[in-house]
Amino acid sequence: MVFAIQKSRIITCDLFPPMKGTQLGEFEELVLLTIARLYNDAYSAAVVEELSRRLERPMSLGAVHRTMQRLEEKGLVQSRFGQATAERGGRRKRLYTVTTAGEQTLQQVRQIRDELWAGIPKEAFGLA
Amino acid sequence: MKSESKRPAPPQWAGKLIERITAPHLREEVLGDLDELFFTRAARLGVVRARLWYLLDCLLLIHPRLWHHKQEPSSYRITDHQPFFLHPDMLKNYLKIALRNLWKSRGYAAINVAGLSLAFCIGVFLFLIAYQQLTYDSFHQDGDRIFKTYVFSNDPDKPVQDGSMPLPFAPALKAEYPELQVTRVMTGRKSLVEANGKYYDKLINYTDPDFLKVFSFTLLSGVRETALTELSSVIISQDMSRDLFGTADPIGKSLRIGNAADGRDFIITGILADAPDNSSVGYDALVRIENSPNYKSDKDNWDNDSHAVFLKLPPHVDEATFEGRLRSFARKYFPKPLAELSKRGAKADAQGDVFAVRLQPLSDVHFNREIAGNKGTPIAVVYVLLGMATFILLIACINFINLSIARSFKRAREVGVRKALGALKSSLFVQIWSESALICCLGFGVGALLAYFLLPAFNAQFGAKLKLAMVLQPGFIALILCVLALVTLLAGGYPARQMARFNTIQVLKGKVTTERPGVLRNALIVMQFTMSCLLTCCTVIAFQQVKHLRQSPLGFDKEQVISIPVGSQVNGRQVLGLLRQRLAGDPSVLSITGSNVNLGKGKDRVTSRGVVGFTYKGRSVSTDWLLVDYDYLKTLRIKPVAGRDFERQYAADSTNAVLITQSMAKMMGEPNPVGQMLRDDNDTTGTRSQIIGVIPDFQLYSVGYEAKPITMHISHTEPINYIFVRVTQSSLAAAMENLKKEWNQVAPQSEFIGSFLNENVDAWYQDEEQLSQVLSLASGVAIVLSAIGLFAIAMLMIEQRTKEIGIRKVMGASIPGIAMLLSRDFIKLVVIALCIAVPVAWWGMQIWLDNYPHRIVISPWIFVIVGMAAILIAMATVSFQTVKAALMNPVKSLKSE
């Protein structure tokens, strides 16, 4: 091979070491959950529909699509092309599924929430 | 499809727009999602709302992520095996490669370095001039509290601002507002100074003790508070101290100012540091104003304006407040001009004043020619200089960018191979950019050296007093570094970025080199030529205007006349008499006369003016009041249009006879002025002068000054300051020598500084002359730089088209045909540049010319000639390359590869 690089001589320098655990934004979490819920039919338009129905507020395709791209870059979901349909003008949809990493992250988030809930003293809400 | 036309459809244009900007790998899914959402919403909410939603979605989709290309797959990243792109080893490598590359393309590097260094050198000069002007008077402490007073009168003809003040003004101001520090500054003449039995000519200024409190010139020895308290004290400059006393301490020594008859002794009480070059107030020596020649007669005269007044406000008082307070002051002390203005129907200006005493900030003093009586530099000139410096730097940068871009195609293959071997965009960018940075730094270094070595020549040529020490200030160095950084980033960064983004596969296939229309490159060439054509047009027009000014009829014959400033050592009237006697028999001397005002600017550099204003039969008249002597008209070859010249046989001629110019007659409203008596309506007892003749108007002062009618008189008592001698044409130099010899006999204690009148008149236009020289230097440099740029671009362009030319030749194209074909592209650009530059130049120069009362009409030929010249230069530059390319043997150019 032309570029037989001797590994030992290369000095790597990480400017941005990976963070411990993956940070998940609130909206990212919602989208990730929706993808998990839609399971086999999770693509941008479907997530938009589902989320705007549940949250009872309109949702822009751009925001959702970008979030899904970001999730994929983080390795929390993976995508593949699905079927083309007539109402899409014969275009294929990109279907997303949650990866194991994604599932773990979701579990972590949930665990933190649960712990926080469990730690709330009864008086905190009871008295209010 | 007609069957589907009833189906609702989303807005087509928005979809098209999104399709266009979306990255290819996202296009399908995004458009599909948009459509699907539209149809589900149309079913649920109706078509109209679905459409709105569609548009909103399209709008919100716009985001860099939409058009960003796909990231590298996360499983394999090149970065994992790459060193950090700014690692020291990498930097070393960049430098090595850069040096090798520059060495390999020495011609290209040399052109770039030459262009940049030339531009930088000129830029430094122009910036320095501008800097020196802009920092005029900025060295005083609390400079923002120092002001010069001026009187404003809203004359119905034209509002007037005048910065010269009558003698009682400052004491009155001080009496009304004791918290002020006020000083009068009366610029005297060069006077005779005697110390230790030796004589010197020094500039004596008259001032007040507050001078040292208002201004912060450094007092090197002496006591600041008391240095000028005595009437017989004198403060001298360091320079004068060196001249008079060498290294000895001059404090307490005495010197004599003035000639034998009216000299006075002064005791030196202080040494003041020399005034910087950029100071409006200059001096050799300072004495109390009470010693000034006309102090006794004028100290309570509010009508004789003779000097400037500077004041320093207390720290908490601002300019506007104090100007407000000066209103009552003006009413109290200037009732006469106020009444006169009201009588003439003057109205209040925007600030509600008919007549007011106002303040001019010190920083403005140098730039306001009206208040200063036509001294100083118009601020526009400074901006022109700064603009030119920027233009030239910009042209050099454009050259640099263009050359780098053009060359980048040559190096595309190198970039491709590097990329294939795994070079990252970032490291490629830094590597290519480091070459540019190297050239930039080299250019700047050479430029700095050039500036250093050429500065003395520049100073000598343009009479500037620039010092390189001015550059070595933190602010200036920071500015230079900023410019350097900007140039490097702009000129080096853009091509480097372009190259780093080359598509590896296409480059290695050899595609990139022939594509690319080079719109940017063409735009830059157009811009470059626009700027140089603009500069050239302006220069040519400015030159013509200066020439026009010099050739405008003077009204007198300036040839073969020698003008001798008498100086202060001797009595001009006596010397004139003696010279007349001694030269009476000399055949080469035609006539001799004297006056109190020089014509043109002589070697003593003094200009003085005496203007008299009065009312004549109800008309207000303002005229130059000129002292002459017999034979003035004869010497200057002015022919009276009516009446006669002064003649010795009429005794009255020397007491109450005057000659007036035609414009004076017009101003007086007298169709036949000869024989009329000239006098002030208000002054019935005073002297009356009879008009004995009328002469045509002539130019007593340069065109920069307002031309006034002239009234000439003869006197036996008033001092004569200049002697004019008309000599025969045959022996001008010999006549000057002869005159010098005679002068040394007649006035041995005074130096002979005679000069020819035509030189004097030329000196009037020195400022304009120097400005047009600077302009032509700048435009010359601009043209040279543009030509260099074009030359190099043509070279690289043709190198790329070698094969094409070879094929054309094989197919039977003629050599001139090929040369034309190659040149045409460049000529087109120059023509476009001309189309932009000409209207701008025409418009700008119209505005500039409107400042001059005697202005030229811009001839279209200027633009035709400049245009032709530009095209010719471009043609010559390019054809050097094109002809070479056209002559090349096609066998050779097609054989390679």
pLDDT tens-digit series, residues B615-674 = 788 787 888 888 888 889 888 888 888 888 888 888 888 778 889 998 888 888 888 888
In this prediction, residues B584-612 reach a mean pLDDT of: 81
Residues in A closer than 8 angstroms to B61, CB to CB, are 60-62, 65
Q: Three-state SS for B847?
A: helix
Separation between Cα atoms, residue B77 and residue B819, nearest integer Å? 50
Q: Measured between CA atoms, how close is A122 to chain B, in angstroms?
A: 44
Determine the average pLDDT of the residues in B694-699. 88
Burial, B304: exposed, middle or buried (Cβ in 10 Å; 0-12, 13-18, 19+)?
Answer: middle
Q: Which of A91, A92, A93, A96 to mutate to test the interface with B (most CBs of B within 10 A)?
A: A91
**% of chain B exceeding 70 in pLDDT:** 94
In this predicted structure, what is the pLDDT of residue A13? 40
Is the model more confident about B569 or about B279?
Answer: B279
- In the predicted model, what is the mean pLDDT of residues B344-363? 83
- Where does B46-105 have alpha helices with state H? 47-61, 64-67, 88-104
Q: Does B25 touch chain A (CB under 8 A)?
A: no
**CA distance, residue A104 to nearest chain B CA (Å):** 19
Candidates A2, A27, A48, A88, partner chain B, best to mutate (most B CBs within 10 A): A88
Question: Between chain A and chain B, how many beta carbons pairs sit less than 8 Å apart?
Answer: 89
pLDDT tier for residue A19 given thresholds of 50, 70 and 90: very low
Q: Chain B within 8 Å of A40 (Cβ-Cβ)?
A: no
What is the mean predicted confidence (pLDDT) over B309-326?
88
Closest partner CB to B36 (pick from A11, A63, A87)? A87
Nearest CA-CA distance, residue A123 and chain B, Å: 45
Contact assessment for residue B757 and residue B580, using Cβ atoms and an 8 Å cutoff? no
| pLDDT at site B511 | 61
Asked if B63 reaches chain A (Cβ–Cβ under 8 Å), the answer is: yes
Q: Please indicate if any CB of chain A lies within 8 Å of the CB of B33.
A: yes
**B73: which chain A residues are within 8 Å (Cβ-Cβ)?**
none
pLDDT exceeds 60 at position A20: no
Which residues on chain A are in Cβ contact (under 8 Å) with B421? 2-3
Helix-, strand-, coil-residue percentages of chain B, each rounded to 5: 55, 15, 30
User: Is B33 within 8 Å of A10 when comparing Cβ atoms?
Assistant: no
Task: List the single range of B1-5, B396-400, B781-785 with lowest mean pLDDT.
Answer: B1-5
d(CA B102, CA B114): 14
Closest CA to B628 of B540, B544, B557, B700: B700
What does the angle CA B800 – CA B805 – CA B810 come to, to the nearest 5 degrees? Answer: 145
Q: What percent of chain B has pLDDT over 90?
A: 6
Better-scored residue on pLDDT, A52 or B655:
A52
pLDDT for A3:
41
* Cβ–Cβ below 8 Å for A65 and B30: yes
Q: Which of B406-410, B855-859, B860-864: highest mean pLDDT?
A: B860-864
A88 contacts chain B (CB < 8 A): yes
User: At residue A5, does pLDDT exceed 50?
Assistant: no
Arithmetic mean of pLDDT, B304-330: 87
Q: Is the pLDDT of residue B397 over 80?
A: yes
B598: Cα within 13 Å, side-chain hemisphere: 28
By the CB < 8 Å criterion, does A12 face chain B?
yes
Is the four-CA dihedral B149, B155, B160, B163 of positive or negative sign?
negative
Specify the pLDDT at position A17.
41
B159 Cβ neighbours under 8 A, 6+ residues apart: B152, B153, B349
**Cα of B80 to nearest chain A Cα, Å:** 7
Question: Of the candidates B29, B63, B421, which has its C-beta nearest A62's C-beta?
Answer: B63
Mean pLDDT of chain B: 83
More confident residue, B27 or B729: B27
> Cβ–Cβ of B28/A91 closer than 8 Å?
yes
Residue given tokens 């009871």 in the structure block: A126
> Is A91 in contact with B29 (Cβ distance < 8 A)?
yes
Lowest-pLDDT choice from B227-231, B402-406, B831-835? B402-406
Q: Which amino acid is at B291?
A: N
Report the residue of chain A nearest B67, measured CA to CA: A66
Q: Which residue has the higher pLDDT, B174 or B717?
A: B174
> Per DSSP, which regions of A37-91 are E strands?
77-84
| Residue in B21, B31, B33 to test binding to A, most A beta-carbons within 10 Å | B33
Asked if B375 and B164 touch (Cβ cutoff 8 Å), the reply is: no
Question: For residue B657, how many C-alpha atoms fall within 13 Å in the half-sphere facing its CB?
Answer: 22
Instruction: Determine contact: A15 vs chain B, CB below 8 A.
Output: yes
Q: Is B631 on the interface with A (CB under 8 A)?
A: no
Residue of B36, B52, B419 for testing the chain A interface, max A β-carbons within 10 Å: B36
**Cβ contacts of B44 on chain A, cutoff 8 Å:** none
What torsion, rounded to 10 degrees, do the Cα atoms B563, B569, B572, B576 define? -70
Residue A96 near chain B (CB below 8 Å): no
Cβ–Cβ < 8 Å for B33, A65? yes
Q: How far apart are CA B438 and CA B132, in angstroms?
A: 31
Select from B3, B25, B55, B57 the residue whose CB has the most chain A CBs within 10 Å, as the one to mutate to test that interface.
Answer: B57
Burial class (CB in 10 A: 0-12, 13-18, 19+), B283: buried
> How far does the CA of residue B431 sit from the closest CA of chain A (Å)?
19
Note whether A74 contacts B: Cβ–Cβ < 8 A. no
- Within 8 A of A84 by CB-CB distance, chain B residues are 32
pLDDT of B755 reads 86
Chain A nearest-CA distance from B20, in A, is 16
Measured between beta carbons, the chain A residues lying within 8 angstroms of B1 are none
Q: What is the predicted pLDDT for the residue at A68?
A: 92
Asked if A10 reaches chain B (Cβ–Cβ under 8 Å), the answer is yes
Give the angle subtended at the CA of B41 by the CAs of B36 and B43, to the nearest 5°. 100
Q: Which residues in chain A have their CB less than 8 angstroms from residue B57's CB?
A: 60-62
What average pLDDT does chain A have? 81
Average pLDDT over residues B509-530: 72
Q: How confident is the model at residue B139 (pLDDT cuts 50, 70, 90)?
A: confident
Q: At B298, is the pLDDT very low, low, confident or very high (cuts 50, 70, 90)?
A: confident
The residue of chain A nearest to residue B86, with distances taken between CA atoms, is: A13
Parallel, antiparallel, or unpaired: how do β-strands B689-695 and B677-678 relate?
A: antiparallel
A94:B29 CB<8 A:
yes
DSSP string, B33-46: HHHHHHHHHHHHH-
Of the candidates B118, B197, B189, which has an alpha carbon nearest to the alpha carbon of residue B566? B189
Instruction: Please indicate whether, in this complex, the C-beta atoms of A43 and B29 are within 8 angstroms of each other.
Output: yes
- The residue behind tokens 């008499």 is B577
Residue B421 forms contact with A (CB below 8 Å): yes
Contact A85 B74 (CB under 8 A): no
- Does any CB of chain B come closer than 8 Å to the CB of residue A127? no
Q: What is the CA radius of gyration of chain A?
A: 20
Residue B440 pLDDT grade (very low, low, confident, very high; cuts 50, 70, 90)? confident
Q: Please report which confidence band the pLDDT of residue B193 belongs to, taking 50, 70 and 90 as the band edges.
A: confident
Token representation of residue B513? 């080199």
B886 — pLDDT class (breaks 50, 70, 90): confident
Q: Check CB contact of A21 with chain B, cutoff 8 Å.
A: no
Q: How confident is the model at residue B840 (pLDDT cuts 50, 70, 90)?
A: very high
Q: Under 8 Å CB-to-CB from B561, ≥6 apart: which residues?
A: B635, B636, B724, B725, B726, B727, B756, B757, B758
pLDDT of A21: 54
| Element (DSSP H or E) covering residue A64 | helix A61-73
From residue B763, alpha-carbon distances to B282, B601, B798 in Å are 21, 5, 51
Q: Is the pLDDT of residue B374 over 70?
A: no
Q: Which chain A residues contact residue B33 at CB under 8 A? A: 43-45, 48, 61, 65, 88, 93
Is A73 part of the contact surface with chain B (CB cutoff 8 Å)?
Answer: yes
Contact B28 A66 (CB under 8 A): no
Is the model's pLDDT at B721 over the cut of 90?
Answer: no
Task: Please tell me the total number of residues recorded for chain B in this structure.
Answer: 897
CA atoms within 13 A of residue A20's CA, in its CB half-sphere: 0
Chain A residues with CB-CB distance to B35 below 8 A:
87-89, 91
Whole-structure pTM value: 0.66
B86: closest CA of chain A, how far (Å): 10
pLDDT band for position A4 (cuts 50, 70, 90): very low
d(CA B289, CA B303): 17
The pLDDT of residue B686 is 64
Q: What is the pLDDT of residue B80?
A: 54
Tell whether A66 is within 8 A of chain B (Cβ). Answer: yes
Count Cα atoms within 13 angstroms, Cβ side, for B355: 20
Mean pLDDT of B738-751: 82
